[in-house]
Amino acid sequence: MSPGENQNLATKESEEEPPPVLGTWPRLYAAVLLGLLVEIVLFYVVTRLFS
């Protein structure tokens, strides 16, 4: 199986079963990354406030 075929498989599966929240997988991925960004900002604030 070639990598091109691998990615086709991934795309096909994504289309078949959407996530239970936010409608599409890319939106859910973006939410996870946004969560990380918020956490880093919060931790930075804690560091600046107390160190």
Binding site for other proteins (CB under 8 A): 1-4, 6-7, 9-10, 12-14, 16-20, 25, 28-29, 32-33, 35-36, 39-40, 43-44, 46-47, 49-51
Task: Write down the least CB distance from residue 23 to other proteins, Å.
Answer: 13
**Complex with other proteins: residue 14 or 23, whichever CB lies closer:** 14
**Complex with other proteins: residue 18 or 23, whichever CB lies closer:** 18
Output DSSP code: residue 2.
-
Coil, strand or helix at 48: helix
Nearest to 14 by CA among 25, 3, 23: 25
Q: What is the dihedral of CA 16, 19, 24, 30, to 10 degrees?
A: -140
